[in-house]
Amino acid sequence: MKILTNWLRTYVPNIPADDHQLADDLTLRGIAVEGVHDLGPAADDQSNGHLFEMDITTNRVDAMNHYGIAREAATIYNLPLLPLHTELPASTPAPAFPVRIDAPHLCGRFTARVLRNVTIAPSAGLISDYFSLLGQKQISNAVDASNFVLLGMGHPTHAFDLDKLQGGIVVRLAHQGEKLKLLDGTERTLEPDDLVVADEVKALALAGVMGGYDSMITPETKNILVEAAWFDPASIRRSSRRHLLHTDASHRFERGADFNAAPIANHLVSQLILASGGHAEGDLIDIAIPATAAKTASRPSINLSVTQVQRHLGTTLEDTPTQSALTPELIYQYLTALGCTLIPTRLAVQLEHEMIADGPVFPPGYFSDHAGHISLVNDLFAVQLPSWRLDLEREIDLIEEVARVYGYNRFANTLPTPGIVIAHPTAAAEAAVRTRLLALGFSESISSTFASQQDSDLFATAGQGTIPMENPLSDEASLLRPSLVPGMVTMLAHNLNRDVKDVRLFEQGQIFTGTTDQVSESAQLSLGLTGAVPATPLHTAHDAPIFELKGAIESLLSLFAPAPLTFTTEAPVWLQPGRSATALLDGTPIAHFGELVHTQREARKLRQPIYLAQLDLAKLYALPLKKVTARDLSRFQAVERDFSFTFPDSMQWHTIATAIHTLNIPELQRLTPTEIFRDPKGKSVPPSHYALLLKCVFQSNDRTLREEELTTWWSNIITTLTNLGGTIRAGEFTM
């Protein structure tokens, strides 16, 4: 967003800082100025000031205009904010123009004013000057007035050619298949949940998004109807997304406009249009829905405790040994400047060291008798919220506002009081999982908490309900995610689409199942990889990614107390049959892993296979975390021995390793399969068999190993492998 400093200073004329310092001070208060551009001298040899490139967060729609930024500046420097002047010439008497709201749940307020005998001409004066500096397109004085007010005080408005209307205004839902030609020249087919501003015959505008072509202002326009309204954010968001229209108006309505701004904006636009000629007819038509007002402009007050402000925000650099710099006076000053109304609700009166509870109620702002005899310390305020700050909902929001305006850089760096901060019960386990996966070459990622209905149908566990959003941002984010896998697929695809072909990601997060009345959260882990994985002695390059995921799962489980781990080839539908498996912990599924099913790969237009795993962290965290121990390295010689056996294909490595470990040889430090091969011709290795080369490392911590005990261990290993159906390969056993 672009802000002119000269325009800004018309609302707060006496800002003591220059434009660069103003940019820094705003940025430190969360109103980020990303660029400052000198606009050079004006025609009268005065400076044009600077252009601020602003980055305003989506919850601060009140600051997406010059007046909102001016309010922030006035608060920072404790200066008065000049009011907006909305005076109009006296109007001629006339019956009220007919306006009807047929969708009161979607249109909470609608204002309209009739202007007669207007003159349509190019804009001049400040509007022309400011628009030139902003690079804003100029159309005509009537249209530019609407845009000027939007940039100035932030509320969208619209002007209709009154002579093109048939009857009065009706705010209603569109009819199925109804057509509307918009200002951009495109014709849209409307849906029944599109909100429109219409006359008695036809739709005139897609409410809160864009006006209609057939009622637009032209050079021939003589009579105008100025409209300013409040529309439901979710309704505007749906229409904007459905019709792929993102406008300055929809950007603001989607985020929650100011309910009380509509009549002010209407006055300001009318004022600018009438400056070129014409007169107002009748009074302002202002229809407000009480239920909407109660949810926006007339929300219940919030109790704010000064003690809680000081407790949450802690020590400042200006504190004294006996008093916090965040005094009741300062809190009152900041929040009042931001538009809040603070009413003291409890006063403690100290008179000659005697505490009198519930003392007299003094006017707001009266806190002390400077003679030192009476000290009034306000402890609790009832805070009435401004209509333009819908993001303020709780006491902690007000505390954050105090911290923001005071300046985060003015707080002391302090450590929490011992015993106050308590680690989450799963914090150590989460850290262990994160550290292990980073060591395995995976990078941590974060995906959206939302999912589409289509992804939820595919990736959700059967039998578990999904949670729909009441006001979804889009169809692609209509549900709380029942699985982390859709987000992982999206992130892998994002990398592939940008020519990043080798990717390894993991995400720890919550999934949501159940119903809207009873939502269940569960900790899950998602792994994703794509790209080349080198072949190993045990696996081909084609199979290696799947076994890398299997190894990662086994490695994570090794961090916790041992439990029987087995695998089955059964897997969910989002994994390719024959290229996937399920890990069972004590016979209960704990993880699924494998290659994404080919139909999904084709549907998502993925350039190469991707491999996924989903692990139930809730079950994993139920196991005790192993304690990390360390021991001295042995000073004695290690002995390596290789064993080469032939096994049938049905023999799994897990069975072989378990059988050897059950021999309970403490000195067996490492057992590694170093080579596996098959002979397609069946000469060196029989058909349906494979040859396995095992490396065993023996070492004692307290002695040099003797030949006779080594011989005993080797003999036991050979016997064990033979009993498993293995055949020792002649000449392959090395000593």
Q: Which of 356, 376, 410 is the last residue of a domain?
A: 410
Please give the Cα distance from 732 to 735 (Å, whole number): 10
Whether 633 is covered by a domain: the verdict is no
Tell me the per-residue pLDDT of 187-222, one tens digit each, with 9 for 90 and over: 999 999 999 999 999 999 999 999 999 999 999 999
pLDDT at res. 182: 95
Residue 180: pLDDT band (50, 70, 90) is very high
pLDDT band at 374 (very low <50, low <70, confident <90, very high): very low
Inside any domain, residue 90: no
Q: Which of 260, 295, 330 is the last residue of a domain?
A: 295
User: Is there a single domain that holds both residue 316 and residue 258?
Assistant: no
> Is 630 part of any domain?
no
What is the arrangement of strands in the sheet containing 50-55, beginning at the earlier edge strand?
A: 2-4, 50-55, 32-38
Q: What is the reported pLDDT for 392?
A: 94
Range with lowest mean pLDDT among 45-54, 297-306, 420-429, 652-661: 420-429
Instruction: Looking at the structure, tell me whether residues 202 and 245 fall in a common domain.
Output: yes
Which band of pLDDT confidence, cut at 50, 70 and 90, is reported for residue 654?
Answer: confident
pLDDT of 248 over the 50 cut: yes
Residues paired with 642 in a beta bridge:
695, 734
Does residue 174 share a domain with residue 64?
no
E-assigned strands of 98-189? Answer: 99-101, 107-116, 158-161, 169-173, 179-181, 187-189
Asked if pLDDT for residue 356 goes beyond 80, the answer is no
**Is residue 93 situated within a structural domain?**
no
Average pLDDT of the segment spanning 110-133: 95
Q: Output the CA torsion sign for 479, 621, 629, 416.
A: positive
Q: Give the per-residue pLDDT at 418.
A: 67
Please check the confidence at residue 515 and state whether its pLDDT lies above 90: no
Tell me: do 515 and 551 sit in the same domain.
yes
What residues have CB less than 8 Å from 401, skipping those under 6 apart?
334, 335, 338, 392
In whole angstroms, give the CA distance from residue 507 to residue 486. 12
Tokens of 168: 């009065």
Q: By residue range, what is the domain housing residue 702?
A: 639-728
CA distances from 345 to 222, 326, 381, 394 (A): 55, 19, 5, 17
- Per-residue pLDDT of 216-227, as tens digits, reads 999 999 999 999
CB neighbour list of residue 190: distance below 8 Å, 6 or more residues apart: 174, 175, 177, 178, 179, 180, 196, 203, 206
| Token pair for 130 | 């400011």
Choose the final residue of a domain: 384, 410, 436.
Answer: 410
Q: 152: number of CA atoms within 13 Å, CB side?
A: 24
Which strands make up the sheet holding 467-468, listed edge to edge? Answer: 450-451, 479-480, 467-468
Instruction: Please report the pLDDT score of residue 512 as a whole number.
Output: 92
CA distances from 412 to 279, 318, 331 (A): 59, 9, 18
Task: Quote the pLDDT of residue 519.
Answer: 87
**How many Å apart are CA 172 and CA 181, to the nearest integer?**
17
Whose CA is closest to 694, among 734, 666, 663? 734
**CATH number of the CATH domain containing 679:** 3.30.70.380
Whether 199 contacts 166, CB under 8 Å: yes
Q: What is the mean pLDDT of the chain?
A: 90
- Count of positions (residues) in the chain: 735
Per-residue confidence (pLDDT) for residue 46, from 0 to 100? 84
The answer on pLDDT for 249 being more than 90 is: yes
Distances (CA, A) of 693 to 367, 674, 675, 733: 86, 6, 5, 9
Segments in 184-324 forming alpha helices (H): 233-242, 248-253, 261-274, 290-295, 306-313
Q: Are residues 108 and 47 in the same domain?
A: no
Whole-number pLDDT of residue 537: 67
Backbone φ/ψ region at 582: left (φ over 0), alpha (ψ -120 to 50), beta: beta
237 and 208 in a single domain? The answer is: yes
| CATH number (domain holding residue 16) | 3.30.56.10
Separation between Cα atoms, residue 535 and residue 317, nearest integer Å: 60
Taking residues 707-735, what's their average pLDDT?
85
Q: Please report whether residue 91 resides in a domain.
A: no
Is residue 166 situated within a structural domain? yes
pLDDT in tens, 29-84: 999 999 999 999 887 778 999 999 999 998 999 999 999 999 999 999 999 999 99
- What mean pLDDT comes out for the span 328-336? 94
The mean-pLDDT minimum among 451-455, 470-474, 658-662, 687-691 falls in: 470-474
In 3-state terms, the chain is what percent helix, strand and coil (to 5)?
A: 30, 30, 45
With b for 16 or more beta-carbon neighbours within 10 A and e for fewer, the 489-522 pattern comes to bbbbbebbeeeeeebbbbbbbebbbeeeeeeeeb
> In this predicted structure, what is the pLDDT of residue 399?
96
pLDDT digits (tens, 9 = 90+) for 444-473: 999 998 988 888 888 888 778 888 887 777
Q: Are 263 and 284 in contact (CB under 8 A)?
A: yes
Question: What's the confidence (pLDDT) of residue 619?
Answer: 92
Q: What is the CATH number of the domain that holds 486?
A: 3.30.930.10
Query: Does one domain contain both 109 and 253?
Result: yes
Which residue blocks in 138-199 are alpha helix, DSSP H?
Answer: 141-153
* Band (735; pLDDT cuts 50, 70, 90): very low
Same domain, 204 and 321: no
Same structural domain for residues 443 and 548? Answer: yes
Q: Which residues lie closer than 8 Å to 212 by C-beta, 6 or more apart?
A: 180, 181, 182, 183, 203, 204, 205, 206
Cβ neighbours for 444, distance < 8 A, ≥ 6 positions apart: 434, 437, 438, 505, 506, 507, 508
User: Is 578 part of a structural domain of the chain?
Assistant: yes
* Helices 328-337 and 395-406, axial angle in degrees (round to 10): 90
Residues 485 and 595 in one domain: yes
> Amino acid identity of 64?
M
**Cα gap 734→640, rounded to integer Å:** 9
Mean pLDDT of 252-271: 96
Could you report the per-residue pLDDT of 283-331, keeping only the tens digit for each? 999 999 999 999 999 999 999 999 999 999 999 999 998 899 999 999 9
Q: How far apart are CA 120 and CA 142, in angstroms?
A: 7
**Under DSSP, is residue 249 helix (H, G, I), strand (E, B) or coil?**
helix
Residue 418, in any domain of the structure = no
At residue 359, the pLDDT reads 42
Rounded Cα distance, 73 and 75, in Å:
5
Predicted confidence (pLDDT) at residue 376 exceeds the cutoff of 70: no
Residues 513 and 615 in one domain: yes
Alpha helix positions (H), 497-594: 544-557
pTM over cut 0.85: no
Q: Which residue's structure tokens are 């911290």?
A: 403
- Listed in sequence order, the residues at least 6 apart from 128 whose beta carbon sits closer than 8 Å to its beta carbon are 122, 138
379 and 456 co-located in one domain: no
Virtual CA dihedral for 21, 26, 29, 33, nearest 10 degrees?
Answer: -110
Domain tally, the chain = 5
